[in-house]
């Protein structure tokens, strides 16, 4: 029978005391370590501050320095030798130099490295190489590499096959740092694997060598060490060495997946088309990840001859992702070879919509006549897409033809080229062209097609216009501006091209610009229409016609990523917004959450107040007034009161007593800008508080020139 061992209570109390003692020890240790860490930190900080000027003197000393500086340098050199006897001092000094080498470059960096050796600090690093602790050895190697002690190469190189991983890795990096052909030595001699992280670091080390001329890495593709082969492949790809096609293609058959993938990437990047057979050969035995790489590469470098293989893969591959990639590769080689099939309905499922009248005909009746539109009987079912296409074809061709006829008169050669083609082919060609230009064509048909000038010339209005006097032409243009619609476009275009009077031509241009959107793509039309309405609204002071979209802030607000950004945007409306923002802000105040609503209401109030004030300020300024103003500023600056005036502007703006005071005409803004004068308190704040004044010499010159 099992009997529980007897535990003496005393033993338990002893254990309790032991654990209590350990707990107390840990308690003390916690504060000991904390205090020691902060004490060391402070001590190092003090020492560093002490040593920084000395090191700086050493680094930036020059033989051309004045005598005093030379003397100081020599004294420092003697003084520091005494200090160097102290181990702690040497350690701190070395630490400072290690830190510093990360921040300096060029000649200073080289002087730093020389200083490290001159002070004999590298001997400490050498000593570390003899330690039995791997972390000390690794630290020593790192120091020698960082301080570029090139004669340490041999001492470090012997560690590249060290059994201690960290030491070995540090040595590998160090020999690449210490000698330009260190990588050759490493790839030739390493017996251990090179981890991927190490490869990353080695490439980074190679990148840091200036004017590095890499060796031909194909040499190591035959290495016994698979990591050397893998790394070489990556280096070949990295340095674009495309002279090892056969070796790389052979490596596609390697049993290691990483090597396979690296070789495949090289084949893809260097476009080794002759690798296709090898790629097809290995495909079946590869893992899904390798297969994916293979298919992507086949898509990139394959030709139509490889389609059969890819189609076979797409048909037979059980893995959906791989089959999908095969389809993608097919489409890369032969675009649109495979069309979407998912959720695509059968042809028979479609019913052709009956067309009763062309939607393309504008309501004013001046649109383009649509002829030959096939109008099926009501309720007739169109059985197949082919027929549907045929029907649409005719309709679209009509649009297309009209576009062609009216914009670019068909040249006889084109007709001759088209005429031998059978009717069916001709339709197909037209469809292709139509597909490319469908959207544009429809816009033309829905709006106003730009009309050929020759055709306009034939219209009675244009003929009449040419014969009108200038006064009548002016009157006509004014009438068109007041009452005109889109129908005036041809005439306006004619005027733009043929009007001799530049002012009338400009008026016609402006008028046309306002109507043009209707005859262009929907996006442009929309944007310009918005501007037009906004302008009208401003002219007529009819804000009610504006919608939130008229504000430039609308789209920014829609795309703002968070609440803070939105609030900032609303605040900006106070600074630069005008009437166009009122509808937008109203919209926000009605539809957004409380925080946005509050901001919007504030902005709304500010803009409205400013608008009221603006009405009391003359909106234009004559050129005489403008020049007078500039002169007075220049004079004030020359007399020394300039900055005061600028300050007054700022003060006024800051006080907020009269916000209109700091609003000046745009022309004056440009002049201020040219002169580099900061005139506005608000602007000054936005420009991070930069302030300056112009030199008097500059202002004299300016006045002389003026």
Partner 1 sequence: MSGNLFEIVIEYLNTVFLLFSVVLFTLLSIMGYLSTRNSIHYRNKNKVGDISKVMASPLAPSITIIAPAYNEGLTIIENIRSLLSLQYVNYEVMVINDGSIDDTMEKMISAYNLVKVTQEIDPNWKSKPIRGVYRSRQASFSKLIVIDKENGGKSDAINTGIYLSDSKFVGCIDVDCLLKPDALLHVVKSFYQRSKKRVIAVGGVIRIANSCGISGGMLEEIRLPKNWLAKFQLLEYSRSFLLGRMAWSRLDSLLIISGAFGFFDREIALAVGGYDTNTVGEDMEIIFRMRRYMHELKEPYTIEYIPDPLCWTEVPEDLNILVNQRDRWARGNLETLFKHKDMFFNSKFGRLGLISYPYWFFYEWLAPLMEFFGFFTIIVFAFTGMLNWEFFLAITMTIYMFSVMFSFYAILWDVYTYNEYKKTKDILTLMFCALIEPITFHPIIVWSAVRGNYKKLFRVKSGWGSQVRKGFAKAT
Q: Which of 200, 375, 527, 627 binds partner 1 (CB under 8 A)?
A: 200
Collapse the DSSP code of 388 into the 3-class scheme (helix H, G, I; strand E, B; otherwise coil) and give the result: helix
The answer to whether 267 and 293 are in contact (CB under 8 A) is no
Minimum Å gap between C-beta 63 and partner 1 is: 35
Closest to partner 1 by CB, 137 vs 252, is 137
Minimum Å gap between C-beta 91 and partner 1 is: 15
Minimum Å gap between C-beta 226 and partner 1 is: 10
Closest to partner 1 by CB, 73 vs 134, is 134
Report 149-168 residues binding partner 1 (CB under 8 A).
Answer: 166
Minimum Å gap between C-beta 387 and partner 1 is: 29
Minimum Å gap between C-beta 631 and partner 1 is: 48
Residue 22 within binding range of partner 1, rule CB under 8 A: yes
Closest to partner 1 by CB, 9 vs 49, is 9
Q: Which of 47, 77, 179, 201 binds partner 1 (CB under 8 A)?
A: 201
Report 297-326 residues binding partner 1 (CB under 8 A).
Answer: 320-321, 324
Residue 210 within binding range of partner 1, rule CB under 8 A: no
Q: Which of 67, 163, 255, 559 binds partner 1 (CB under 8 A)?
A: 559
Minimum Å gap between C-beta 5 and partner 1 is: 7
d(CA 611, CA 659): 11
Collapse the DSSP code of 410 into the 3-class scheme (helix H, G, I; strand E, B; otherwise coil) and give the result: coil
Minimum Å gap between C-beta 549 and partner 1 is: 17
Continuous H helices in 447-577? 453-458, 460-467, 470-483, 489-498, 502-515, 522-540, 552-559, 563-576
Q: From start to end of 134-291, where are the E strands?
A: none
Closest to partner 1 by CB, 175 vs 382, is 175
Number of residues that bind partner 1 (CB under 8 A): 55
Minimum Å gap between C-beta 340 and partner 1 is: 9
Minimum Å gap between C-beta 24 and partner 1 is: 9
Six-digit token string for 184: 């050759």
Residue 132 within binding range of partner 1, rule CB under 8 A: no
Residue partners of 181: CB distance under 8 A and separation at least 6: 215
Residue partners of 665: CB distance under 8 A and separation at least 6: 620, 621, 626
Closest to partner 1 by CB, 222 vs 289, is 289
- Which of the ranges 134-142, 375-383, 434-442, 671-679 carries the binding residues for partner 1, by CB under 8 A? 134-142
Q: Which of 9, 620, 657, 705 binds partner 1 (CB under 8 A)?
A: 9
Of 168, 170, 180, give the one whose Cα is nearest residue 201: 170
The answer to whether 187 and 228 are in contact (CB under 8 A) is yes
Closest to partner 1 by CB, 13 vs 698, is 13
Of 684, 632, 681, 678, give the one whose Cα is nearest residue 658: 681
Closest to partner 1 by CB, 194 vs 477, is 194
Minimum Å gap between C-beta 480 and partner 1 is: 41
Closest to partner 1 by CB, 176 vs 399, is 176
Closest to partner 1 by CB, 83 vs 192, is 192
Residue 583 within binding range of partner 1, rule CB under 8 A: no
Q: Which residues of 102-132 are buried (b: 16+ CB within 10 A; e: fewer)?
A: eeeeeeebebbbebbeebebbeebeebbeee
Residue 16 within binding range of partner 1, rule CB under 8 A: yes
d(CA 150, CA 153): 6
Minimum Å gap between C-beta 275 and partner 1 is: 22
Of 60, 157, 173, 77, give the one whose Cα is nearest residue 120: 77
Of 511, 472, 482, give the one whose Cα is nearest residue 494: 511
Closest to partner 1 by CB, 202 vs 403, is 202
Residue partners of 108: CB distance under 8 A and separation at least 6: 59, 60
Residue 239 within binding range of partner 1, rule CB under 8 A: no
Most distant pair of Cα atoms in the chain: their distance: 132
Closest to partner 1 by CB, 184 vs 199, is 199
Three-class SS string for 112-176? HHHHHHHCCHHHHHHHHHCCCCHHHHHHHHHHHHHCCCHHHHHHHHHHHHCCCHHHHHHHHHHHH
Residue 29 within binding range of partner 1, rule CB under 8 A: yes
The answer to whether 160 and 186 are in contact (CB under 8 A) is yes
d(CA 287, CA 321): 12
- Which of the ranges 13-21, 369-377, 470-478, 657-665 carries the binding residues for partner 1, by CB under 8 A? 13-21
- Which of the ranges 107-115, 137-145, 586-594, 696-704 carries the binding residues for partner 1, by CB under 8 A? 137-145
The CA–CA distances, whole Å, from 534 to 34, 531, 539 equal 68, 5, 9
Burial of 36 (0-12, 13-18, 19+ CB in 10 A): exposed
Which residues here bind partner 1, judged by CB under 8 A? 1-5, 7, 9, 12-13, 15-16, 19-20, 22-23, 26-27, 29-31, 33-34, 37, 134-135, 138-139, 142, 166, 170, 173, 192-201, 203-204, 227, 234, 238, 287-289, 320-321, 324, 559, 561-562
């Amino acid at each position: 029978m099992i009997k529980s061992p007897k535990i003496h209570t005393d033993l338990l109390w002893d254990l309790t005391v032991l654990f209590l003692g350990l707990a107390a020890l840990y308690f003390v240790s916690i504060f000991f370590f904390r205090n020691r860490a902060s004490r060391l930190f402070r001590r190092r900080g003090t020492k560093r501050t002490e040593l920084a000027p000395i090191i700086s003197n050493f680094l930036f000393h020059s033989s051309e320095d004045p005598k005093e500086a030379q003397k100081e340098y020599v004294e420092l050199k003697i003084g520091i030798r005494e200090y160097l006897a102290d181990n702690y001092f040497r350690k701190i000094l070395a630490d400072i130099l290690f830190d510093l080498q990360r921040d300096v470059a060029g000649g200073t960096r080289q002087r730093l490295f020389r200083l490290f050796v001159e002070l004999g600090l590298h001997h400490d690093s050498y000593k570390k190489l003899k330690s039995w602790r791997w972390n000390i050895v690794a630290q020593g190697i790192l120091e020698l590499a960082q301080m570029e002690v090139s004669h340490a190469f041999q001492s470090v190189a012997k560690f590249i096959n060290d059994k201690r991983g960290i030491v070995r890795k540090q040595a590998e990096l160090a020999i690449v740092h210490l000698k330009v052909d260190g990588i050759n030595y490493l790839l030739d001699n390493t017996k251990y694997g090179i981890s991927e992280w190490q490869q990353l670091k080695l490439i980074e080390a190679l990148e840091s060598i200036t004017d590095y001329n890499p060796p031909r890495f194909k040499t190591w593709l035959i290495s016994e060490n698979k990591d050397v082969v893998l790394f070489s492949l990556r280096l070949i790809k990295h340095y674009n060495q495309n002279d090892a096609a056969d070796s790389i293609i052979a490596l596609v058959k390697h049993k290691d997946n990483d090597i396979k993938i690296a070789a495949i990437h090289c084949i893809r990047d260097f476009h080794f088309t002759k690798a296709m057979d090898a790629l097809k050969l290995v495909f079946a035995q590869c893992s899904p990840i390798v297969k994916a790489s293979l298919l992507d590469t086949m898509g990139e470098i394959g030709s139509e001859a490889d389609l059969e293989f890819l189609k076979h893969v797409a048909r037979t591959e059980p893995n959906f992702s791989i089959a999908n990639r095969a389809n993608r590769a097919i489409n890369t080689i032969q675009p649109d070879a495979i069309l979407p099939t998912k959720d695509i309905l059968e042809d028979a499922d479609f019913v052709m919509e009956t067309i009763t009248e062309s939607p393309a005909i504008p309501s004013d009746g001046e649109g383009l006549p649509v002829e030959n539109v096939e109008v099926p009987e009501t309720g007739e079912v169109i059985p197949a897409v082919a027929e549907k296409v045929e029907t649409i074809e005719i309709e679209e061709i009509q649009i297309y033809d009209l576009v062609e006829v009216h914009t670019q008169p068909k040249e006889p050669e084109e007709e001759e080229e088209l005429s031998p083609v059978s009717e069916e082919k001709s339709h197909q060609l037209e469809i292709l062209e139509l597909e490319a230009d469908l959207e544009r064509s429809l816009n033309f048909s829905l709006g106003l097609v730009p009309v050929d000038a020759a055709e306009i010339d034939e219209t009675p209005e244009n003929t009449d216009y040419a014969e009108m006097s200038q006064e009548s032409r002016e009157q006509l243009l004014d009438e068109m501006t007041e009452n005109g619609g889109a129908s005036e476009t041809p005439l306006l275009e004619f005027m733009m091209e043929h009007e001799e009077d530049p002012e009338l031509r400009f008026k016609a241009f402006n008028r046309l610009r306002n109507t043009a959107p209707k005859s262009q793509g929907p996006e442009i039309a929309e944007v310009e229409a918005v501007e037009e309405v906004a302008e009208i609204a401003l002219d007529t002071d009819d804000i009610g016609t504006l919608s939130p979209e008229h504000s430039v802030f609308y789209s920014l607000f829609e795309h703002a990523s968070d609440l803070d950004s939105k609030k900032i945007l609303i605040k900006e409306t106070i600074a630069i917004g005008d009437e166009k923002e009122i509808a937008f802000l109203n919209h926000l105040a009605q539809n957004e959450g409380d925080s946005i609503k509050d901001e919007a209401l504030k902005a709304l109030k500010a803009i409205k107040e400013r608008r009221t004030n603006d009405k009391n300020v003359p909106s234009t300024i004559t050129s005489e007034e403008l020049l007078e103003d500039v002169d007075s500023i220049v004079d004030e600056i020359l007399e020394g009161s300039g900055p005061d005036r600028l300050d007054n502007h700022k003060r006024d703006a800051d006080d907020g007593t009269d916000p209109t005071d700091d609003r000046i005409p745009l022309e004056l803004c440009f002049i201020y800008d040219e002169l580099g004068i900061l005139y506005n308190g608000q602007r000054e704040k936005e420009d991070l508080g930069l302030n300056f004044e112009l030199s008097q010499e500059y202002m004299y010159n300016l006045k002389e020139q003026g």
